[in-house]
Every structure is written in structure tokens, then in C-alpha cells.
Amino acid sequence: MPLFTPSRKSMPAIDYVSIVKSALKDRRAMVFGTLASALGAGAAAFKTQSPVLYAIAGVFVLVTIFRYLDMTRFKVDDIAPTDVDTAAYWESRATAWGALVAFLYGSWCLASFLVVNDSVAELIAMSTTIAAMVGIATRNFGLDRLLTLQLAIACTLLSAGLLLKGDVYHLILAFMLLPMLVAMRFLAADVRNVLLSAVHGRVEASRLASELDTALDTMHHGLCMLDADGRIAVSNDRAEETFAGFVAGSWTGRPFSALLAAAAARGAIPQDAADELLALVSHGGPGKVILRLPQAQFCEVTVSSRGDRTVLLLEYITDRVRAEERINFMAHYDGLTGLSNRAHFTQRVEADLIARERDPRRSAALLMIVDIDDFKHVNDTLGHLVGDRLLVEVGERLRGALPEDALLARFGGDEFLVYRRVARDFDPCPSTSALIGTFKPGFSIMGEDIAINVSIGAVVSTTRSEDLDALLVKADLALYKAKAEGKAHAQIFHEELDTEYRYRQRLKAELRACVAAKGLSLAYQPLIDLRTRRVVACEALARWHHAELGTIPPSVFIPIAEETGLISDITRWVLETATRDCRTWPDEVSVSVNVSARDFRIGNVADLVHDALANSGLAAHRLEIEVTETALIEQRDAATKVLGLLAREGIGIALDDFGTGYSSLSYLQALPFTKLKIDRSFVADIATNPRSLKLLSNVAQLGKDIDLIVTAEGVETDAQLDLIEANTGIDQIQGYLFGVPLPRGKVAQIITRMGQSARPATRKQKQG
């Protein structure tokens, strides 16, 4: 066939019209393909800052728009099956557009090789163009003139770019394009002939069967088709491998039920899964069954039917199952110690307390809070890296000292919780003393000998109606008493501990007075751009220094503020102060403010943000709101509404402490996050544990895959910084390596100093 013979002259009218319709009716494939090319050109332009590539990306977008508008005029139903003239008109328009698109791809390659001269830009242009050529061959196979013209234009310009590049490797690549062009054209012709032959039944049945077998056997998924009697009519090798042991070709005509029975008897699949699958097949679906295969592999079988045929599609989902298991682990277990986290512990204990109410033995419940004494001193003197490792070993020692039926969890910070059922006359003193004695031998961590003690607050409840919250309050009061008596001590709750409650009431009253008098202060911890080493943001952190009690940590007064409803007043003050302070910083530096679940519950978060921005004059894009997974769990609907509103106004939304709470990918999908802040527990031991580094990298990649800015918290050493930079896609870092939280004046000095030097060579330079 001559290269540019119109297709209308080389095939019957009905075939020609049908092929034109099929080539023009799918506008989505054209839009997605061309826009993807625009993104590729844009990415190359961004990397090289080339005006030419930016122009090419823009032309791709314009071509997409105008071509889409042109294709919308095409109405499939308006063309009769033999209306050759109308079909020829649309083929001509498609040919013109196709030639323009091919020229655009070729020009992109030519510009990348001769103007931009950047290897990455060349690779993007060449690979995208070749991919487009493959797409042309598969999409326009029926229109030979259009196909040949597009391939010739694109290949000619691409070859010209390679030839003009001049070196021997580019010359080789240029000459390799010619056979590829010929092969693509022949491939398209073959596909066209097969299609037309199939439409008119001119291909022998044996050749069609052979091609079908080839397609089935090269499928990544297994496929099995059953007839009306439940016998296997068609299957491929992948399906037979799933059920382990049958010789290829032996399935046809066999009852599927017999195959399942043989596979289950052999142990290839579990019997209960085989029964479930057989029941689903007998009803014709639709539905899915997950099979656990040998070597811990998983296969998902999708059952569907049409008429009297039932089709089974078998997909290996081992990677997906393992990913879900990892996500489930993150949702239920502490990322640092591997113990149950707060949400998981709460769920299990509350379930057991309900079951205890129905227990005829009338057992009691024991709850203990185990707190490491002076743990802050370990962090301050030896660093958080050692402190985190200590937490891991404390968890392991507790697990070894407790009975098997005890539930153990890390409740946050340096606190561990223990719950178990005991007899009503149980004396907890021997158990608490034994636990304290467990820590008499010290720890050797990273070359440091560390001696620690623990304090324990315990409560034994014989009251059936007492819930976990009540037990926690009592155990917490007992723990406070234990620490007040010199630490390394255990205290069993008794009613006299109500004095502890009065102390808490005092804090509530004095916090209210402090907030009213604006007696809190703000500290700022910088967030550093990993690439430029400049400060790009600062996190605002509230501080309370009590005249008599000293510094009250946020972990104490923030929960009190949430309980008393003061949190919104604190949030309002923090927003007003932080936005006002940020207004004095360079324009490229933003500020982030934490918002609690109670703020969302009250429902005035949007108003607080709007007032702060209006009063300070700060641009919306320079403010970022941080929320934790706990806040999302407690107030998901309210948070979704408010965060969506703020995000539309240009305010950044960050998910804070990712991995420490009830992590769920659904939050990342449903909420308009712009940043993912990975909890410091993921960073702690990356310098000594390759698995931790890999986990950190995977979590970072998760954020990058959904276009989030990724920040790593708790970066404390140069070794951690180097590993993060070399092995992850993390954008920003935060931690003591670049400074502790500082007052406004000092953090402004750091912003100025780090803005003058792009990449300090040493930690000493970083900290000044």
C-alpha cells in the first residue's frame, strides 16, 4: 500500500466509516495523553528554566483545548455506516491535527537536543515522544495515512535532533529509529488487518484461537471462564499456577468444583476460601474472594457473569495486602516501641471492661501507669536519639516482666500503660514493686550506661460500671502522688488522693487567669528547606511559666485548656501573635499554628484565622494550620468542612505527627492537606537501623506521591540529616539540629543568618 493512500480507497466503506468513528469518538484518551506530554515538557522546563520548553508546554495545552473543542463537534450517531464523504472529511481534520501534534513532539525533541542541552530534558522529550509514537500506532492503526504521517514527522524531527547532537551514541539512536518506525507501521497494519478480518470473519478459527491463547498467557492476571455447567471453557497459565499443580491444557472441560476440591486437598488454598469461592461462582457473582496461597502470597479472585458464562479474574495482591498490613500496624501500634498505641489500647480495654460486667466471677480490673523518672534529663543530656532507644528497651523489659494476659501500651511520651484482669482481693503492691525492681539493672545504649527508675500509679477497680477514663484519672492521680514522694515509687489509688484533683483544679483556675491576662508566651521552632538550608517557616509553640510552679509543660496545660474550653482563647492569641510576628519576617517565611480537636468542636476556627489575618495584614499563603490525627478522629466532619474552606483561601494545611495516632490514608485523600509532617519517632534511629531509614523513605514517598510537602520532625544529628537528604524525598526538616524553640527576637536572628548562607558546611555553622 502506498504510504499516503487515503484509507477510504483501500477498504470497504463500512470498514472505513467504522474505523474513523473509533478513532475520533474517544476524546478522553487524547486529552490525557496530550496533557501528560504538557506536564512532561513543563517539568523539563522547570528543571532547565528554558523559555522554549515553557512555550512548547503551553502549545501542548492550547492544542489539547482546541483539538478537544474540534472533536466535540464529531457526532458518532450522525454518520451513517456507509457515509464515506463525511467520514473522509473528519479523517482529513484528524490528519491535520495529528500532523500538528506529531510536529509538536518532534519540535520538542529538537529543541531539547539543540537548544536546551540538558540530559534530563532530552530524556523526558525523547521518551515521551517515543511513547506517543507507540500510542499513535495503537490508536490510529486503522487510518494508514494519518498513522504514517504522524510517525514520519515525529521520527524525522527526533532523528534530526539526535543526528545534529553529533556524538556517536546519538547517531546510533537516530539510526535505530528507522527500523522502529517501520516496525510500528507494520504493527499498525497487522492490527488493522486482524481487526477487519475479525469483523468479516475472514480469519481462520485456528489462528484466532492461537492469538487468543497468546493474549491470555501473556496476561499479568489469571483468567478462567466457565460454561453454563460450571466446566472450564477457557483458562490461562497464570490461573493454573494459582491453583498449583495442573499441567497446562488439562483444565478445559473439567468441573471447576473438582479443581477447587483438588487444590484445597493439596493445600494450595484454604478449604474455607475454596467453599466461599465455589458458593460465589454458583450464584454467578458478582463478588470477590481473597485466597491465601503458599509462601504467604495472596490472590484476589473477582467473579462476574454475563449470560450463561462466568468469568474469574485472578489478581496477585500480595504487595497490596502487605501495604495494608503496614498501614494497619501504624494505626494500632506505636511507631517507636511497637507496643499498642493509645487508640488500640483504649479499644481493647474498653471491650474487656464491658465483658467484665458480664463475668460471673466478678473479677477486678488493674490499671497501672508506668512513668520513667527524669526522662527529660536523658533527652537533655544524651539527646533524643538515646532517649528514644531507651523507650524501646523499657517497653521490651516491661513486656518480659508482665504476665502474658496483660495489655501493655505506650500512651505517649515516657508513659506506659498496663491493664489486666485480677481477683477481687488482689494486692497490687507485690506486682508494682516487682516492676520497679525490674529496672534496677541499668541500660547500655549507644555506648552510654544509663540508670533509670520508674514511678507507678495503680488502681484496682471492683466496680463494674467504671470506665477507662475514670480508671485513668485515678491512676494518674496515684502516679502524681508517687512522683511527689520521691519517684522510684508505686502508689495505689485511694480516696485521699483527691487532693491531687484539687491541685488540678488550681491549675485550671490559674490558667484561666493567665490566659485572660495574656500571660502565655510564644516560642518558634524553624523549619528548614532541605535543598537551600534556609528557614521557610516557623512553628508557633505556646509556653506557660507559672510564678510559683515554674514552667508548666504544654502536655499539662493544653489538655486542661481543652477540658475547660480555654483552648479557643489560647488558639486566638497564638494566631494573632504568630501572624503579627510573621509579618515582620521575610516574605518567603511562613508561620504554622496548631489547632486542637476542641477548636473544631467549638466551631470557630475559620473565624479565628480570618480575624488574625485581617488584624495582622499577613498574606493567607504565609499561614499554615497544623492538625493531628487525633483531632481528625474526634472531629472529622467539622475539620473537613473548616479545612476545606481555609485551603480554598490559600492557607496551608499540615497533618502533624503523622504515624503516632490512628493513621489512616483516608484522611490524606479526603482532606486538603498541603504538608505531611512525619513524627520524630520515624527519624530517631535511621542512622543505626536500615529498616527505619527505609520506613521513613516509604512514608515520605507516600506524601510525595500525592503532591504533599513532606517535613521530617526531630532531626538532631548531621548523620540523620545526611541520610534524609541522600535517601528520601523529604522537602523540609525540623529539629534541634537547627535550633530549639526560641523567642521571637532570637528566631528572627536565625532567619536572617541562615538566609545569608545557602548550605552551611558544619553543624557549628548551622547553630552559630
Residue type, 433: S
Query: Nearest 5°: CA angle at 190, between 187 and 194?
Result: 140
Q: Count CB atoms within 10 A of the CB of residue 600.
A: 23
Which segments of 517-659 does DSSP mark as H helices, in order? 554-564, 567-582, 597-602, 605-616, 629-634, 636-648
Residue 761 pLDDT: 39
Count of Cβ atoms closer than 10 Å to residue 663 Cβ: 24
C-alpha cell of residue 452? 533509670
Which cell numbers hold the place of 486? 520521691
Q: What is the CA radius of gyration of the chain?
A: 34
Cβ neighbours for 141, distance < 8 A, ≥ 6 positions apart: 147, 187, 188, 189, 191, 192, 195
**Which pLDDT value is given to residue 250?**
65
Cβ atoms within 10 A of the Cβ of 622, count? 21
3-state secondary structure 384-400: HHHHHHHHHHHHHHHHH
CB 625 within 8 A of CB 648: no
43 Cβ contact partners less than 8 Å away, ≥ 6 residues apart: 124
| Pure H helices in 679-760 | 690-705, 718-727, 744-755
Total number of residues shown for the chain: 768
Rounded to whole angstroms, the Cα distance separating 451 from 439 reads: 8
Read off the pTM: 0.41
| Closest among 672, 636, 676, 674 to 659, alpha carbons compared | 676
Q: Are 83 and 121 in contact (CB under 8 A)?
A: no
Write down the residue that cell numbers 532530552 correspond to.
122
pLDDT of res. 246:
45
Domain 527-756 CATH superfamily: EAL domain (3.20.20.450)
For 429, phi then psi, to 5°, come to -60, -45
CA dihedral 391, 397, 403, 406 (to 10 degrees): 0
Q: How many CB atoms lie within 10 A of CB 617?
A: 9
96-100: list long-range contacts, CB under 8 Å, 24+ apart: 97/63, 97/67, 97/70, 98/136, 98/140, 98/146, 98/149, 98/150, 99/149, 99/150, 99/153, 100/63
Percentage helix, strand, coil for the chain under 3-state DSSP, each rounded to 5:
60, 15, 25
Give me the amino acid identity at 182: V
Nine-digit cell string for 317: 495482591
**Parts of the chain with a pLDDT under 50:** 1-3, 202-203, 246-249, 760-768
If you search the block for the grid coordinates 536519639, which residue do you land on?
Answer: 385
pLDDT given for residue 477 in this prediction:
87
On the question of a common fold for 216-316 and 325-493, the answer reads: no
Q: Compute the Cα dihedral for 170, 172, 178, 180 and give only its sign.
A: negative
Position 734, amino acid = Q
The chain-wide mean pLDDT, for the chain, equals: 82
Per-position DSSP letters for 70-87, written without gaps between them: HHHT--GGGS-TT-HHHH
CA dihedral (573, 578, 581, 587) in degrees, to 10, reads -150
Q: Where are the alpha helices (DSSP H) in 664-717?
A: 665-670, 690-705
Distances in whole angstroms, Cα of residue 320 to Cα of each of 303, 326, 696: 19, 10, 19
Q: What is the CATH number of domain 216-316?
A: 3.30.450.20
Helix (H, G, I), strand (E, B) or coil at 95: helix
Residues 222, 236 contacting (CB under 8 angstroms): yes
Residues 6+ apart with CB under 8 A from 687: 385, 717, 719, 720, 723
User: In sequence order, which residues have a C-beta less than 8 Å from that of residue 379 and are 6 or more positions away?
Assistant: 386, 387
Closest CA relative to residue 155, chosen from 114, 109, 122: 109
Number of other CB atoms surrounding residue 369 within 10 Å? 25
Question: Does domain 325-493 sit in CATH 3.40.1160.10?
Answer: no
Q: How far apart are CA 149 and CA 177, in angstroms?
A: 15
Query: How many Cα atoms are found within 13 Å in the side-chain-facing hemisphere of 156?
Result: 10
pLDDT for the residue numbered 767: 38
What was the pLDDT predicted at 213? Answer: 65
Q: So what's the pLDDT on residue 714?
A: 92
Helix 168-200 vs helix 13-24: crossing angle, to nearest 10: 130
Other Cβ atoms within 10 Å of 379 Cβ, number: 18
Distance from C-alpha of 654 to C-alpha of 732, rounded to nearest angstrom: 13
Write down the pLDDT at residue 199.
56
Burial of 636 (0-12, 13-18, 19+ CB in 10 A): middle
Q: What CA–CA distance (Å, rounded) separates 653 from 644? A: 9
| Cα–Cα distance for residue pair 718/724, rounded to 1 Å | 10
d(CA 340, CA 329): 9
Cβ neighbour number for residue 551 with a 10 Å cutoff? 10
Q: What is the DSSP letter of 5?
A: -
**CB distance 525 to 740 below 8 Å:** yes
**The amino acid at 435:** L
Q: Determine the Cα–Cα distance for residues 26 and 30; give it in Å rounded to an integer.
A: 7
β-pairing verdict for 652-658 and 415-422: unpaired
Burial of residue 315 (CB within 10 Å: 0-12, 13-18, 19+) is middle
Q: How many CA atoms lie within 13 A of 626 on its CB side?
A: 20
Where are the chain's structural domains? 7-203, 216-316, 325-493, 527-756
Q: Helices 119-139 and 84-111: crossing angle, nearest 10°?
A: 170
Q: If we measure between CA atoms, which residue out of 711, 627, 694, 641 comes closest to residue 670?
A: 641
Q: In b/e form, how buried is each residue of 38-65, taking b as 16+ CB within 10 angstroms?
A: bebbbebbeebebebbbebbebbbebbe
For the stretch 173-182, pLDDT in tens is 777 777 777 7
Q: How far are the Cα atoms of 213, 217, 279, 315, 606 from residue 224, in angstroms, in the given order?
A: 12, 11, 16, 12, 55
DSSP 187: H
| Pairwise CA distance, residues 305 & 291, whole Å | 20
